[in-house]
Structure 1
Amino acid sequence: MKTVSEVRSHGGTQGVYTHRSAETGTEMTFSVFVPDHGDGEKLPVVWYLSGLTCTHANVTEKGEFREACADFGLIFVAPDTSPRGEGVPDDAEGAYDFGLGAGFYVDATQAPFDKNYRMRSYLEEELPALIGDHFPADISRQSIMGHSMGGHGALTMGLRNPERFKAISAFSPIVSPLNCPWGHKALGSYIGNDQSAWREYDACALIEDGARVPDILVDQGTADNFLEGQLKPELLQAACAKVGQSLTLRMQEGYDHSYYFISSFMPDQLAWHAERLAQ
């Protein structure tokens, strides 16, 4: 692991780091905020997964999470959204919603993407081990959150790994790739045309198939221009209601899809995570 930068902020250290990933076969960049802590103290970890076109930098620079993380004693980890580098395949037309910056947090099975696009295994196995080895992280206390495509990643990863994550939340998540254009393009190309194989990457399908967690928190802006065509939070609401899965869905009046929205509710979501990570 190499240190790109470390700066003092809000009574802690904000760092950016790179390492060579065995899963993706590429250099991967991620950021970590570590609040001040006592010698030998281990802190709970909040994972944040970003959306389409983003890198680790978007939330690191605009998410306004550090003050809350310092107050609650939370390590905040922000990975990249896809592999990058020479030879990594991209969308043939350079579109924003597939390929570089759009890994959808899956392990691709279709060539040529299956060699590098292994974001699921990278985040479920490889990067957590690195965080545990190099930072004062209490790996027994982890939670996960994300935005848009990253909200999809947080929901599906959390539902697949309830023993690992004590809390799951999302901003404007893609709740059902089976039922939106972004999902059809990404999963069709990464996973193939058999939609039964998509279910492990669809939060609504996972809940229908028996996945359960104590609670899910979602904040969604009512002025989000992707609300009706891509995000469809009512599908998650219906899936949870049908089986009794606890969901707190907060429709935030007038907010859009941007980091102005995310940063407005980031401290509140982190307080929600901190309460559950303390249990």
Structure 2
Amino acid sequence: MQRIEHRACSGGWQDVYRHDSKVLDCAMNFAVYLPPQAQERRLPVLYWLSGLTCSEQNFITKAGAQRYAAEHGVVIVAPDTSPRGDGVADADGYDLGKGAGFYLNATREPWAAHYRMYDYVVEELPALVEADFPVTDARAVSGHSMGGHGALVVALRNPGRYRSVSAFSPIVAPSKVPWGEKAFSAYLGDDREAWKAWDASELVKTAQEKLPLLVDQGGDDEFLDAQLRPQLLQAAAVAAGHPLQLRMRPGYDHSYYFIASFIGEHIAHHAAALHGEAKVHAGVAHGRHDGCSGGH
């Protein structure tokens, strides 16, 4: 493992590391923010999963999360969104291949050789982080868009592994929208029953743990009706009696301006669970619902 970036930020350090992933069979980057408290004791970890086209860089440079992580004493780990390298399969377009791993384990070639982001995020990366950094095994997970899908799926599939989960603008029903249909067809094949194992709106129906779901969604999101469709998760959660707080934010779009506006509330939400003995409930302060939108 090699540290390739080391920058002072909000009293702590924003680092980026590169390592050879056995699961993905390629070199991978991941970002780690160590708040100042990490110099004195081990801290819990919030894993952040980014969206389509992103790397580990987008969240750490655009979200402004470090100041809140320092305030609450939480380490943030942000991996890349897919395997990388010359030998890794890719495709034309932004929504399949590199930058579009969808946090699943691919079963079809040529993707199966490298595209196992689920195993990487759930098993390999946390094992590395917990072995080599001043952290505890208290984990939370959050993400945006494709990464919001990933956060919901890994939490729902792994009862007891995460103290809390949240998402910004998640793809809640990938088996029913164009982004997911394209990715799932390529990575998993044409059996739509197999797709349900990677679809939050399906997983919530049989979840073994009623871990509360916190979702923020911009009301002016350009992908809201075609790709995100949060009402599908809401309907499934209501039917299953699964706690969900879906907060529609008028005026906000799909960009990091939206994430930066409410990331402080999400980190506070996770910190309450990570520093406490019980898992956090879905209810958090609503804050202001007015604001501006912006570009990606």
Which of 223, 226, 233 lines up with 1:226 in the alignment? 223
> 2:37 touches 2:70 (CA, 8 Å); kept in 1?
no
SS in 2 for 1:249: strand
Task: Compute the displacement of 1:162 (Å).
Answer: 2.2
**TM-score normalised per structure 2:** 0.91
Q: Is 1:215 aligned to 2:202, yes or no?
A: no
Residue matched to 1:148? 145
SS in 1 for 2:163: strand
After superposition, give the CA deviation of every residue in 1:149-204 in whole Å (9 maximum; x if it has no partner). 00000000011112110101000000011110101000111011111111111001
Give the deviation of 1:37 after TM superposition: 2.2
Could you tell me the TM-score, scaled by structure 1's length?
Answer: 0.97
Q: Match for residue 282 of structure 2?
A: none
Q: Which amino acid aligns with 1:23?
A: V
Paired with 2:221 and 2:110, the residues of 1 have a C-alpha distance of: 34
In 1, Cα distance between the equivalents of 2:212 and 2:41? 28
**In the alignment, residue 29 of structure 1 is paired with which amino acid?**
N
After TM superposition, give the deviation of residue 78 of structure 1 in Å: 0.3
> Is the CA contact (8 Å cut-off) linking 2:156 and 2:207 kept in structure 1?
no
d(CA) in 1 for partners of 2:187, 2:73: 37
For residues 17-52 of structure 1, give each alpha carbon's deviation from its aligned partner in whole angstroms, at most 9, with x where no partner exists. 000000111100010001112666110000000000
Q: Which residue in 1 is equivalent to 2:285?
A: none
Q: Choose the corresponding residue for 1:188, options 175, 178, 185.
A: 185
Corresponding position of 2:117:
119
Q: Which residue is equivalent to 1:60?
A: 60
Q: Name the amino acid aligned to 1:26.
A: C
Instruction: Please report how far the alpha carbon of residue 210 of structure 1 lies from its aligned counterpart in structure 2 after TM superposition.
Output: 3.3
Aligned to 1:73: 73
Q: Kindly provide the amino acid, as one letter, of the partner of residue 59 in structure 2.
A: V
TM-superposition CA deviations, 1:133-152 (whole Å, max 9, x none) = 1111111x100000000000
Report what 2:24 is aligned to: 24
Consecutive unaligned residues in structure 2, runs of 5 or more: 277-296
| Residue identity matched to 1:12 | G
**Contact 2:171–2:227 (CA under 8 A) maintained in structure 1:** yes
Q: How many residues align?
A: 276
User: How far, CA to CA, are the matches of 2:146 and 2:231 in structure 1?
Assistant: 17
The runs of 4+ residues in structure 1 deviating greater than 6 Å are none
One-letter identity of the residue aligned with 2:240: V
Residue in 2 that maps onto 1:274: 271
For 1:166, the aligned partner's letter is: R
Unaligned regions of 5+ residues in structure 1, if any?
Answer: none
Kept in 1: contact 2:157–2:207 (CA 8 A): no
- Per the alignment, residue 88 of structure 1 pairs with 88
How far apart, in 2, do the equivalents of 1:272 and 1:13 lie? 22
% identical aligned pairs: 48
Distance 1:121 1:7, change over 3 A: same
The letter for the 2-side match of 1:33 is Y
- When structure 1 is superposed on structure 2, of 31-40 and 128-137 the one drifting more is 31-40
Could you say what secondary structure the match of 2:64 adopts? coil
* 3-state SS, counterpart of residue 122 of structure 1: helix
In structure 2, how many angstroms separate the alpha carbons of the residues matched to 1:173 and 1:150? 7
Deviation at 1:132, TM superposition (A): 0.6
2:201 and 2:263 map into 1 onto residues whose CA distance is 24
Deviation at residue 214 of structure 1 after TM alignment: 2.8
Q: Does 1:259 align with 2:259?
A: no
- For 2:210 and 2:40, how far apart are their aligned partners in 1? 31
Separation (CA, whole Å) in 2 of partners of 1:175 and 1:211: 18
